[in-house]
Amino acid sequence: MRVQKSNIILDDDFKPLLVKESEINYKELDNLDNSDKIVKVMNEVFEMDRKAEEYLYIIAMTYQYKPISFFEVSHGVHNSTYARRREIMIRLLLYGACKFVIVHNHPSGETNPSSNDKDITEKLKKCAEFVGMNFVDSIIIGRDNYFSFRNNGLM
């Protein structure tokens, strides 16, 4: 599986333009069709379980759960990060994603979702439905565990 990290810059006309930041071959997995696989790649490639501040990533995927690209959408402080639906959806739409997952970490190790975590997940579900995209899961990674909205019946 190819793990590509991408970002967005503005072109000369101030329009968003996708750029590839890095890419590695990750032979451990073929697809990201469940939360265990997603957490494995996020921890092994991006060290989400070791970060001192909160980070929020989105994973743009094909219908077959193959990752198109990983995006760091937000980098916050020790107990919060902030991301808007607009920035998330721009990245997904520019790449033509069919499915997506959001993943963020809680440096405290506590993986129970906050009210803000629940709120952004609910708002992104509505955005995804509106544009005909499948929002697969919202995952919170702690030090030794994780919380999946999908696995816990919240998606």
**CA–CA distance from 77 to each of 66, 82, 86, 88, 129 (Å)?**
30, 10, 21, 19, 30
pLDDT computed for residue 29 by the predictor: 85
Q: Could you tell me the CATH superfamily of domain 29-148? A: Cytidine Deaminase, domain 2 (3.40.140.10)
Q: Where are the domains of the chain?
A: 29-148
Name 146's bridge partners. 141
The tens place of each residue's pLDDT in the chain, 155 residues long, gives 889 888 888 889 998 888 888 888 888 888 999 999 999 999 999 999 999 999 999 999 999 999 999 999 987 666 666 678 888 999 999 889 999 999 999 999 999 999 999 999 999 999 999 999 999 999 999 999 999 999 999 88
pLDDT computed for residue 126 by the predictor: 95
